[in-house]
Chain A
């Protein structure tokens, strides 16, 4: 009997939880705010689904009942992607070490 592809995805999911667990514990507490903003940005990869939804309209019909939700989701996810990565970058640029000349 063949293994359902769902099981493969489930495996990836479970392993990723463990990877996430160990990776996040190694994040220094002083960077917890950037951690939140960057996880925010990457979870917007949901835009992948939004794009598929938006381009699902039949020939010639750009805005169908289902694609409209896709377009709306694209806007939301895009705000998050740009906002999340840029604000993270802005924050991280502020973390500086003590100057050596002291």
Chain B
């Protein structure tokens, strides 16, 4: 296949990837978008086979390995519960990162195959691109592995911090630059390996100080990194599809990180430098006083809701943990039968990844036009009778609006307290991930429902 033809086909596959993302602007067009993405991938892979044109034993092995990886991927995709989406995405990011590292290594060992020069005499530009691809890929890999372990609960979600952490990270980053510089002047393979090793270390160090509640930012950030790694490799391979995709994914992840940071009213650097909660917890515990709370049972909650004319549901990570989304939808169905208007309010950082709650509600067959974003629904709380907070905490804390001392001051929150009454499903009074007490617990119109989210919802349904 001629180089020009394959370049055009790669371009087409890049355009198809753009259309795949474009499709996601609305749920109706999204499925078609996904199809565009698949076609784009099919074109890219086919063109690569044809342009390499090496249909020997190696080709058969490629197909075998493709089938192995593909069936593993398909198996995971069909078996994974929707609540585990954040872990899955973090895991997948790590694979992209590692694949980028492997391709860069291969290109370094055998530059002839990629038309980049000969071993020990690789073109300067290619070497820089390769080093960037490998370094970013390695950071993505180790960072995603840590994020995965934290999300899975294998590793504690609490931030791990130590003295001189930022200094160490900064020094390592400088070391990477120095290594890249010497790698370019000496072409030494040892430097290349050290560069990759240091990058692995940085990815690890960057993610360990970030706490569980900041995971939405971390996942988006790693998403972005995986894109930049792919783009770096794309430059090495002089492949348009890869460059376009890398840029798309890179900017997509960056935008998501921005949205998530804005949802928490924190700067990106504040999140990345980590340690949120670690310093606040101490002060939060000191002024913790025993204030009276009203607690109730499923019967009380059912009574309140039965007499309401409109109910707003505020789901959070706790709903995902308790797998309560189906029980919740059954409760809502019963409410609707009683002619009660029900809508859902989703905070941008609810859950552990962007859009996490929306997927869970969609899984439970909640129509997406009943689900609203913060800006769309926040004014409605004042007119609603009952707010049903299930598994959310910090995102409803009125302190963010009233107390400039609070670490979450300025964070956009759902105006839950404006409802006539608030039902708060929670296992205990323990503070949320930000480590601060929620004023909402002690409000006059709040009724705490201490129970497992799923069990409580089921009980309420029985009592309706």
Contact = CB atoms under 8 A, between A and B. Distances in A.
Contacts of B395: none
Contact of A53 (B30, B76, B110, B251): B110
A59 B409 CA distance: 66
Interface stretch (B92-100, B163-171, B277-285): B92-100
A31 B24 contact: yes
Contacts of B245: 42-43, 45
A93 interface: yes
Nearest to B17: A42
B72 A79 contact: yes
Contacts of A39: 21, 223, 227, 248-249, 252-253
A24 B102 contact: no
A20 B353 contact: no
Given A64-B110, A70-B102, A36 B22 contact: no
Given A29-B355, A35-B21, A75-B65, A83 B48 contact: no
A13 B231 contact: yes
Contacts of A99: 367
Contact of A52 (B30, B52, B61): B52
A91 B223 CA distance: 18
B243 A9 contact: yes
A62 B353 CA distance: 41
A12 B244 contact: yes
Contact of B21 (A30, A38, A74, A97): A38
Contacts of B69: 74-79, 81-82
A62 B65 CA distance: 13
Contacts of B253: 36, 39
A46 B99 contact: yes
B293 interface: no
B161 interface: no
B348 A25 contact: no
Given A39-B248, A47-B99, A73-B106, A91 B20 contact: no
Given A23-B18, A48-B48, A94 B113 contact: no
A74 to B, nearest CB: 5
A93 to B, nearest CB: 7
Contacts of B89: 33, 36-37, 40
Contacts of A20: 18, 21, 247-252
Given A40-B92, A42-B17, A62-B57, A21 B244 contact: no
A29 B356 CA distance: 10
B419 to A, nearest CB: 23
A45 B235 CA distance: 13
B62 A74 contact: yes
Contact of A83 (B10, B44, B76, B248): B76
Contacts of A25: 255
Contacts of A98: 367, 369-370
B355 A31 contact: yes
B71 A82 contact: yes
Contacts of B18: 16, 19-20, 23
Contacts of B78: 86, 90
Nearest to B93: A40
A100 to B, nearest CB: 11
Main secondary structure of the interface of A (DSSP, over half): helix
Nearest to A27: B24
Contacts of A90: 77-78
Given A20-B247, A69-B105, A55 B62 contact: yes
A32 B248 contact: no
Interface stretch (B34-42, B148-156, B378-386, B446-454): B34-42
A89 B34 contact: yes
A38 to B, nearest CB: 6
A6 B103 contact: no
B14 interface: yes
Interface stretch (B207-215, B358-366, B400-408, B430-438): B358-366
Contacts of A24: 21, 248, 251-252, 255-256
Given A46-B242, A64-B110, A69-B109, A75 B68 contact: yes
Interface stretch (B80-88, B296-304, B311-319): B80-88
14 contacts: A18-B251, A27-B24, A28-B25, A40-B93, A42-B40, A43-B245, A45-B17, A50-B106, A54-B65, A66-B105, A73-B106, A76-B69, A78-B66, A83-B76
Interface of B: 10, 13-14, 17-18, 20-22, 24-27, 30-31, 33-34, 37-38, 40-41, 44-45, 48-49, 52, 54, 56-59, 61-62, 65-74, 76-78, 80, 82, 85, 88-89, 92-93, 95-96, 98-100, 102-103, 105-107, 109-110, 112-114, 125, 219-220, 223, 226-227, 230-231, 233-253, 255-256, 259, 346, 348, 353-356, 358-359, 362-363, 365, 367-371, 373
Interface of A: 5-6, 9, 12-14, 16-21, 23-57, 59, 62, 64-67, 69-99
